[in-house]
């Protein structure tokens, strides 16, 4: 088990490092000239900013990769998890469910502290250097306090329930646990936009009447009913812009980031929204949920089997046994072993983007979507010249040049 785990971990990290270095080399190689197809919309300074931003994020990503690798090795083969288990045992009865909850708590706090330097650097140095960070120290702390409180209020009872099922449901506990987690995820999709998102951002009805009228027209043209149009103060934290849908059935709402409305003209907003409607009409979200349910069913079956194998614990540096340890070790295994799925999921997502673009072209104007995309690439400093292999592996959206060529061909 140790050898298998180490090989998967090192192989997946090696591939990620190699792809990241390829991306850096490609972006650096194309830094000096704006690609011809963007020559009108993007000036050299913006292009170079995007290259520098991509390179800086890549460097940070490689640091994160190494830092995360050290953490996983410390926890497993380094005996960190066993040490945490023993520490918690000095306070809680190691056979009780509270022991498991305390172990998860200790692991979360230490994992958070381990990642803190990296995330502080990312938000307050890297993002700030490129003018994207709007988060103040006070906002960072209040976000942290709120999200901690929510994780404790929601996470602890959920975890208790899962640990109890693992203990009480016999050999098929994993089917029960899977069912509970799927139900929880569906509930979260309903609860999050209405109760949790407003704790972090302000949502106000769209005031621009002319724009609201156009959006309403687009919606009725597409046979789509929504509960409301909202503007979110995304600019409180970051300069990156976006638009999205949340909710189900008649409770659907459309949310625009204020940063998006500042950048795009009404034609472009309409085209972006038509693209988002395309995702809805093609049932991309439903498909995603279904695939997630199926994949997690397979993973839980695997977890049910692994939890009975001594080699699973011993090979990963843990001599004690508990429900919580089973879950934690499995979650550490997950990343290296599901890594080969990354390019498949990315491919699938890019296919959805093409379908949504085709829908947008049918219900709004392709030229407007193109000019909206060019503005968004420019303002988000997204690179126009990704390494093809890196893009094939990771990109959830088609590369700018290919996507725009498709749109222009459809216009
Ligand atoms: Zn999309």
Question: Per the residue annotation, which of 268, 276, 353, 368 is the catalytic one?
Answer: 276
Burial grade of 195 (CB within 10 A; 0-12, 13-18, 19 or more)? exposed
For ligand 1, the distance from its centroid to the CA atom of residue 389, given in whole angstroms, is 21
Catalytic annotation on 32?
no
Q: How far apart are CA 163 and CA 142, in angstroms?
A: 30
- 260 neighbors 330 (Cβ within 8 angstroms): no
Whether the pLDDT of residue 91 is over 70: the answer is yes
What is the structure's pLDDT at 245?
73
- 173 neighbors 304 (Cβ within 8 angstroms): yes
pLDDT tens profile 24-60 = 999 999 999 999 888 888 999 999 999 999 999 999 9
Element (H, E) at 246: strand 243-246
Question: Per residue in 101-114, is it b (16+ CB within 10 Å) or e — as a string?
Answer: bbbbbebeeeeeee
What secondary structure does DSSP assign to 165-218, as a single string? HHHHSGGGHHHHHHHHHHHHHHHHHHHIIIIIHHHHS-EEE---HHHHHHHHHH
pLDDT tens profile 148-174 = 999 999 999 999 999 999 999 988 999
For ligand 1, the distance from its centroid to the CA atom of residue 358, given in whole angstroms, is 11
Whether the pLDDT of residue 88 is over 90: the answer is yes
For ligand 1, the distance from its centroid to the CA atom of residue 57, given in whole angstroms, is 22
pLDDT tens profile 364-392 = 999 999 999 999 999 889 999 999 999 99
For ligand 1, the distance from its centroid to the CA atom of residue 298, given in whole angstroms, is 28
What is the structure's pLDDT at 251?
65
Strand 243-246 to 253-257 pairing: antiparallel
What is the structure's pLDDT at 345?
95
For ligand 1, the distance from its centroid to the CA atom of residue 276, given in whole angstroms, is 6
Question: Per the residue annotation, which of 127, 270, 357, 368 is the catalytic one?
Answer: 357
For ligand 1, the distance from its centroid to the CA atom of residue 11, given in whole angstroms, is 31
What is the structure's pLDDT at 342?
95
What is the structure's pLDDT at 226?
78
Catalytic annotation on 262?
no
- 383 neighbors 24 (Cβ within 8 angstroms): no
Q: How many CB atoms lie within 10 A of CB 135?
A: 16
Q: How far apart are CA 242 and CA 142, in angstroms?
A: 23
What is the rounded average pLDDT of the residues 291-308?
94
For ligand 1, the distance from its centroid to the CA atom of residue 149, given in whole angstroms, is 32
Whether the pLDDT of residue 81 is over 70: the answer is yes
For ligand 1, the distance from its centroid to the CA atom of residue 273, given in whole angstroms, is 10
> Considering only 134-148, 246-260, 272-286, which range has the smallest mean pLDDT?
246-260
What is the structure's pLDDT at 248?
64
Average pLDDT, the chain: 92
For ligand 1, the distance from its centroid to the CA atom of residue 279, given in whole angstroms, is 7
pLDDT tens profile 221-276 = 888 877 788 999 988 888 777 777 776 666 678 889 998 898 899 999 999 999 99
> Considering only 89-98, 109-118, 182-191, which range has the smallest mean pLDDT?
182-191
Looking at per-residue pLDDT, the higher value among 228 and 289 belongs to: 289
Give the predicted TM-score (pTM) of the model: 0.87
Burial grade of 77 (CB within 10 A; 0-12, 13-18, 19 or more)? middle
């Amino acid at each position: 088990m140790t050898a298998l785990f180490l090989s998967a971990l090192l192989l997946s990290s090696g591939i990620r490092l190699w792809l990241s270095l390829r991306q850096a080399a490609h972006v650096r190689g194309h830094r000096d000239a704006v690609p011809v197809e963007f020559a009108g919309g993007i000036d050299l300074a913006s292009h170079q900013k995007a290259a520098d931003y991509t390179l800086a994020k890549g460097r940070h990503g490689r640091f994160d990769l190494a830092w995360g690798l050290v953490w996983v090795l410390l926890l497993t083969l380094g005996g960190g998890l066993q040490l945490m288990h023993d520490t918690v045992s000095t306070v809680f009865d190691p056979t009780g469910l509270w022991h498991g909850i305390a172990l998860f708590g200790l692991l979360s706090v230490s994992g958070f502290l381990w990642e803190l330097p990296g995330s502080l650097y990312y938000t307050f140095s890297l993002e700030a250097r490129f003018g994207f960070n709007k988060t103040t120290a006070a906002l960072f702390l209040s976000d942290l306090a709120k999200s901690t409180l929510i994780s404790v209020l929601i996470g602890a009872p959920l975890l208790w329930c899962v640990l109890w099922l693992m203990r009480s449901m016999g050999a098929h506990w994993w089917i029960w646990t899977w069912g509970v987690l799927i139900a929880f995820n569906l509930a979260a999709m309903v609860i999050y936009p209405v109760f949790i998102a407003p704790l972090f951002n302000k949502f106000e009805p769209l005031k621009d009447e002319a724009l609201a009228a156009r959006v309403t027209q687009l919606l009725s043209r597409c046979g789509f009913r929504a509960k409301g149009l909202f503007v979110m103060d995304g600019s409180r934290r970051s300069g990156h812009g976006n638009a999205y849908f949340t909710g189900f059935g008649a409770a659907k709402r459309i949310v625009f980031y204020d940063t998006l409305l500042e950048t795009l003209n009404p034609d472009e907003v309409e085209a972006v929204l038509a693209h988002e409607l395309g995702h809805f009409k093609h049932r991309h979200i439903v498909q995603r949920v279904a695939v997630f349910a199926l994949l997690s069913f397979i993973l839980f079956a695997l977890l049910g089997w692994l939890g009975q194998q001594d080699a699973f614990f011993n090979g990963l540096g843990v001599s004690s046994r508990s429900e919580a340890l089973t879950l934690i070790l499995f979650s550490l295994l997950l990343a290296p072993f599901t890594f080969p799925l990354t390019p498949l999921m990315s491919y699938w997502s890019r296919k959805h983007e093409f379908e949504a673009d085709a829908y947008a072209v049918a219900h709004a104007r392709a030229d407007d979507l193109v000019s909206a995309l060019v503005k968004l690439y420019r303002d988000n400093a997204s690179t126009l010249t990704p390494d093809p292999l890196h893009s094939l592996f990771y990109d959830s959206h088609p590369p700018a040049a290919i996507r725009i060529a498709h749109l222009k061909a459809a216009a």
